[in-house]
């Protein structure tokens, strides 16, 4: 039996890459998001909506120039790892390397220590750990993506188990209603991630993953939902406008004959993520 070539990647290198992603994700707004914000500015007619969008765009510029976090809520760091099956991580523990990288990256860049060790007893906040999702994929590379998820919007996430015979109209209503409930609190205009299929927990993961995809290329279904959501008129900061949502991304997965899980994960306009491939 011929052995495949194993590639060795040092844990130390992964730590450094993750630390760098903390800066990139939190300080440099994704070009697709900034692009849609600029389009939204053109679409809005009311002076208030325009003024708020201008502040949001100016904020992204200030963050970049001053090396400041785009938002003070630098989130719960969520890390997606696509680990090539022919990679061997050497010289340390992979999960520890990622969490150490997050700790270093957040501290070094003066981001916020928002993570408390115990959800019940709370205590003094620190910089890590991250929530890490691993996926084993073919190949010899590792792709690491960091998504700092602010909790103003994370608190508005929803999931529902529909019947398999549910009309698609009802699914759309559920999504639109979830956005309506997020309302002014979650920093509109939003990016809406939707996960359909799998199991209850997997639909939630799909919805979060959907946020990672660029929002400038959308399917017909996504465009339809975007139109419906924007009819809500919530607008920037919830003070009214044409643009309640910058983009809708849907991820699907096979599911069981007895069910139809649907999850909605909402992101504020400061939709941040950064990736690196080793």
Partner 1 sequence: MKNITLPLTEKLIENLHVGDEVLLTGKIYTARDQAHARLQKAIKSGKGLPLDLKGQIIYYCGPTNTPKGKVIGSCGPTTSSRMDAFTEDLLKIGLIGMIGKGIRSQQVLKAIKRYKAIYFLTYAGCGALLSKYVKTKKIAAYPDLGPEAIYRLEVIDFPLIVGIDSKGNDIFKQKGF
Of the listed pieces 86-94, 96-104, 209-217, 238-246, which binds partner 1 according to CB under 8 A?
A: 238-246
β-strand partners of 145:
80, 275
Residue 274 in contact with partner 1, rule: CB under 8 A: no
Beta bridge partners of 19: none
Q: Which of 173, 185, 201, 216 binds partner 1 (CB under 8 A)?
A: 185
Q: By the 8 A CB rule, do 262 and 178 touch?
A: no
Which residue in the set 79, 204, 269, 274 belongs to the binding site for partner 1 (CB under 8 A)? 269
Please select the residue that binds partner 1; options are 91, 139, 164, 183, rule is CB under 8 A: 183
- Measured over the CA atoms of residue 251, residue 256, residue 257 and residue 262, the dihedral's sign is negative
Check binding of 46 to partner 1 (CB under 8 A): no
Determine the Cα–Cα distance for residues 199 and 48; give it in Å rounded to an integer: 42
Q: How many chain residues bind partner 1 (CB under 8 A)?
A: 43
Compute φ and ψ for 148, nearest 5 degrees.
Answer: -80, 110
Does 192 sit near partner 1 (CB under 8 A)? no
- Residue 21's closest CA among 215, 217, 276, 278? 276
152 sits near partner 1 (criterion: CB under 8 A): yes
Of 31 and 233, CB closest to partner 1: 233
x/- string (CB under 8 A) for partner 1, residues 50-89?
Answer: --x--xx-xxx-xx--xxxxxxxxx---------------
**DSSP states of 36-82:** HHHHHHHH--SHHHHHHHHHHHHHHHHHHHHT--SSS---EEEEEEE
Alpha helical stretches, state H, the chain: 11-27, 31-43, 47-66, 94-108, 151-154, 168-182, 200-210, 220-230
Smaller CB separation from partner 1, 6 or 55: 55
Between 9 and 25, name the residue whose CB sits nearer to partner 1.
25
Q: Are 203 and 159 in contact (CB under 8 A)?
A: yes
The C-alpha atoms of residue 224 and residue 38 are separated, in whole angstroms, by 21
Question: In this chain, which of 31, 91, 125, 139 binds partner 1, going by CB under 8 A?
Answer: 125
Q: How far is the CB of 109 from partner 1 (least distance, A)?
A: 8
Q: Is 239 in the site for partner 1 (CB under 8 A)?
A: yes
Where do contacts with partner 1 occur on this chain (CB under 8 A)? Answer: 52, 55-56, 58-60, 62-63, 66-74, 107, 109-114, 122, 124-125, 152, 155, 183-187, 233-234, 237-240, 268-270
């Amino acid at each position: 039996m011929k052995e495949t070539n194993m590639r060795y990647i040092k844990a130390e290198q992964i730590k450094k890459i993750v630390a760098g992603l903390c800066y990139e994700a939190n300080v440099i707004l994704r070009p697709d998001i900034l692009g849609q914000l600029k389009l939204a500015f053109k679409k809005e007619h009311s002076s208030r909506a325009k003024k708020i969008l201008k502040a949001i765009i100016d904020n992204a510029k200030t963050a970049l120039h001053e090396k400041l976090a785009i938002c003070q809520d630098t989130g719960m760091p969520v890390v997606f790892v696509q680990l090539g099956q022919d990679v061997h991580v050497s010289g340390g523990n992979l999960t520890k390397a990622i969490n150490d990288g997050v700790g270093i990256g957040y501290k070094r860049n003066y981001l916020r220590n928002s993570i408390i060790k115990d959800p019940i007893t709370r205590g003094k906040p620190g910089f890590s750990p991250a929530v890490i999702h691993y996926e084993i994929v073919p190949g010899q590379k590792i792709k690491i993506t960091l998504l700092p998820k602010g909790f103003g919007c994370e608190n508005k996430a929803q999931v529902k188990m529909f019947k398999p015979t549910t009309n698609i109209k009802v699914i759309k209503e559920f999504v639109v209603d979830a956005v309506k409930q997020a309302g002014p609190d979650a920093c509109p205009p939003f990016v809406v991630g939707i996960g359909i299929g799998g199991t209850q927990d997997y639909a939630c993961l799909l919805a979060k993953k959907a946020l990672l995809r660029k929002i400038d290329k959308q399917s017909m279904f996504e465009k339809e939902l975007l139109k419906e959501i924007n009819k809500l008129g919530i607008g920037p900061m919830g003070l009214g406008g044409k643009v309640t949502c910058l983009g809708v991304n849907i991820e699907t997965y096979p599911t069981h004959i007895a069910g139809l899980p649907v999850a909605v994960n909402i992101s504020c306009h400061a939709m941040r993520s950064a990736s690196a491939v080793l």
